[in-house]
Structure 1
Amino acid sequence: MNRFLKHYKYQILLVFIGIIWITLLNGLLQVYDQHHIYPDSESYRQAADLFYHDFKAHCYRPFGMALIFGIPYIFGGGNAEVFDFSLVINIMSWLGSALLVFSFLKKMITVRKAFIFALAFYSILGLAFVNFHLLTEGIYTFFTLLVFWLIDRYYAAKSFHYLSIALGLLLFMVLIKPGTKFLAIVLLLVFGGVLIKNFYKYSMAFIYISVGLIVFQCVKVKQEYGDFTLSYIDGVTYYNYLGNTAMTLKTGGTFEEGIQKRMDYIFSLPHTETKAVAAKDFKDQLSGNTLNLVKGYFINIVENTKTPNDCIVICKNKAGTGYFDSVQKAFIIISKYQNRIFTALGIIFALYYFFSGYKKPDVYTLISFYILYTIALSGISSHQGDRFHLVFFPFVIVLAGKFYAQRYSTKIVPVQE
């Protein structure tokens, strides 16, 4: 036991600090007592309900989130238990993410410095407060870190099973956030030669199973709604957000008025028509409203970059504490500038490591591509605080640690696994 504690003392301390910190944040803003349910959160719960009780697909939410967060339904739990269970999963994912950031960093710098860098992960208020809601950001961040950690292990050990598990997990993440599909396709192409050479190995089962689950999702949507697709969320998201921003720039009016009108219209249509309507709108605006469509895209990215975390903004002073308003205002300001700073640093580091390593990509090249990909994708939607960019903030810390190691460390620090 003493040997275990000595070997993993930093990891244990990191988890302990995380638990204390999230407890403190909860107490300061009474987050657990807010009982606020986002429309997105309710749709994920509905997807879990459909999956476990009726074995049906949700029109907008693939069954990845439902499979994990709906587990209480198996044991007779109700909706409240699902939301409570999501808090447990989110905090475990949050703590796991901190450990993975630390694992990346301690390969490059001393363990003590890696620990200090890893503590910066806890400072990201948006990732801490989103834990209290049934949303994808927490578990998606953990899974993404795990994917790149496994790819890093593959590069170091040249053992194929690490890569197979990583790509299999990445494909499964398509069932959590459908927008991941393009990232998955790129990484499958990057490692295409390796996959072809190892297609017969047992570890390829991780990839085959995930592909099978994606096909299963598409088949279920086809059976129940009419189209062989992961979900209808992509067309609806474009139509309500980027499409609305572009049209608002053209015709005037407010974004809120436009989105209400568009939502009323597209949600009144059969699901099979929404993709066609969104595609036609995009085609029409691309040809007849090109400048505003491009402007709208960059306006959305700026909006997603400059805004604070909405999970902080919505909190109400339920207990009537005297310090609540001051703490909330401070946290809103901090989260707003964290979003701006982490996004700016993410772009700088990502461009640097991507263009310096794309000819012979390593894990940091791929991480850089992921950051740029996420920012580019965020231009399709907006008006949800920092949620679109939060998922790559831990990777900014990893790249900052690498940059520090290259500039100020005299050698790469050997790590005992």
Structure 2
Amino acid sequence: MISKLKYEYLLFLIALVWVLFFSSVIQLQAGFSSWGDDSTYLYAAKVLYFNGVLDDSRPMFISAVIGLPFLFGFSTAFVIQWGIIVNFICWLATVLLVFKIIAERWNRQKAFVFAIAFILCIGNLAVAFHLIAEALFVFLLVLIFYLMHKFIQTGSYSFLTLAIAFSFLILLVKPMPLGLVILLLLYHSKKAKKVFTNKYAVVILVSVSMLFFHMYSLKKKYGDFTISYIGSYTYYNYLGARADCLKDGIAYIPGENPRTKHFISLSSHEMKTLATWDLKNQLLNNKVNLLKAYATNLYLNSSKGNSIVYATENQDKTMCFSLFHVLFKAISKLQNIVFTMVGLALAFYCLVKRKQQDVFRLMLSGFIIYVFLISGISSNEGDRFHLAFYPALLILMADFYKNRILKTVS
């Protein structure tokens, strides 16, 4: 029998060996990528620390975390290294949180197996090698799940208070879960008094203050009281542009159509205004093509592998590169397809049979469906959107498997 602490140590050792093996066989180097979104996160960190200005697309908290070494006079090269270290810490912490949640809801042996399954999720590991927000974002998501699990398990409002606080904070990493945060607040609105009268209430006040300060700063500099302008940019250049191309009968090439070239010449406020007008116009006059574009985006984001793995090259001319490159591309693609299909199936089943499910399972199910549906606003992302629900699905699968076993025994 493995002792309590040894599972965590073993997971750490397995994770370390896997990272070293994974990176070496496909020559995936941790660091700055010139072709991805790395430059936008680095730029946001620079303008925050050197100019005291918030970026219009990358929120304050992720910029502050990545650029923290700038505060102490370190170089850009050190900041990039720091950002990658933060990513790997977040990835490993997510592994341990997945293990902890399943262990407390079932047992440590089964939790160990599901934690290994998360370690082997190609996309979740690959994004940690680049200076982007996904690793921190997924960690905060799973941390919120853990806190909600503890609230349901113990009834302690301290856990709910912290979950709400981190829900506000995560919007300053990526604004994508805004709809879920609103639903969380509405669902627990009757508990407001107990939430704000425990010792952790100050954490909510800090996170809310940060969020409103961020939105006020964007209003003052760019013209809109918003978390980020990234949603406007993403809709207009991906979903909206694809629908427009379908209407005109021309090929959709991301970033290459005339409307995109015009769009990037506008101010942030003008972009948001135009994107809002375009969405209303297409809903009124081009709704069929908008739906086709949306369905196409959903399909593409559910059927492709990880772009970071795809982009690796055999610079060292090793014999094993081609084998593992093809293998890991195929696995990341297969994981995206299978996780999406299984995730949607389990989530919809859980919601249909909601009277037989606990609140935690319903929360995970709603999250999986939400991420899937909102991914349709973008396109050609590979597995990048869906990575967010991989750990949620593993936790949900563990719960369903546990219940099936209990029913069989009884």
Q: TM-score, normalised by structure 2?
A: 0.95
Q: Percent identity?
A: 33
Per-residue deviation, 1:73: 0.9
Structural RMSD (CA): 1.9
Q: CA–CA distance in 2 between the matches of 1:62 and 1:36?
A: 20
Residues 91-124 of structure 1 show CA distances to partners (whole Å, capped at 9, x for unaligned) of 1111111111111222343322221121110111
Gaps of 5+ in 1: 413-417
Q: CA–CA distance in 2 between the matches of 1:100 and 1:294?
A: 37
**Equivalent position amino acid for 1:299 in 2:** T
> Does 2:204 correspond to 1:204?
no
Q: Partner of 2:250: helix, strand, or coil? A: coil
Q: CA–CA distance in 1 between the matches of 2:31 and 2:66?
A: 20
Per-residue deviation, 1:310: 0.2
Per-residue deviation, 1:199: 2.7
> Does 2:286 correspond to 1:289?
yes
Match of 1:252 in 2: 249
CA contact (8 A) 2:350 2:357 kept: no
Change (3 A) 1:404 1:138: same
3, 9, 25: which is aligned to 1:12?
9
> Does 2:302 correspond to 1:305?
yes
Q: CA–CA distance in 1 between the matches of 2:235 and 2:140?
A: 25
Match of 1:129 in 2: 126
Q: Partner of 1:31: helix, strand, or coil? A: coil
Q: Partner of 1:321: helix, strand, or coil? A: coil
Residues 269-314 of structure 1 show CA distances to partners (whole Å, capped at 9, x for unaligned) of 1221111100111111111111111111111111100011000011
Q: CA–CA distance in 1 between the matches of 2:268 and 2:31?
A: 33
Residues 155-212 of structure 1 show CA distances to partners (whole Å, capped at 9, x for unaligned) of 1111111111111001111111112211110101111111234433332222221111
**Equivalent position amino acid for 2:367 in 1:** Y
Residues 222-253 of structure 1 show CA distances to partners (whole Å, capped at 9, x for unaligned) of 22222222221111110000001111211122
**Equivalent position amino acid for 1:388 in 2:** F
351, 354, 368: which is aligned to 1:354?
351
Q: Partner of 1:383: helix, strand, or coil? A: coil
Q: CA–CA distance in 2 between the matches of 1:340 and 1:270?
A: 38
Gaps of 5+ in 2: none
337, 341, 353: which is aligned to 1:340?
337
218, 222, 225: which is aligned to 1:221?
218
Match of 2:275 in 1: 278
Q: TM-score, normalised by structure 1?
A: 0.93
> Does 2:334 correspond to 1:374?
no
Match of 1:31 in 2: 28
Q: Which moved more, 1:302-311 or 1:250-259?
A: 250-259
> Does 2:110 correspond to 1:113?
yes
Match of 1:319 in 2: 316
Change (3 A) 1:257 1:135: closer
The number of aligned residues is 408
Per-residue deviation, 1:257: 6.2
Q: CA–CA distance in 2 between the matches of 1:34 and 1:291?
A: 42
**Equivalent position amino acid for 2:326 in 1:** K
**Equivalent position amino acid for 1:99 in 2:** L
**Equivalent position amino acid for 2:298 in 1:** I
Residues 367-405 of structure 1 show CA distances to partners (whole Å, capped at 9, x for unaligned) of 111111111110100112110101101111111111110
> Does 2:169 correspond to 1:172?
yes
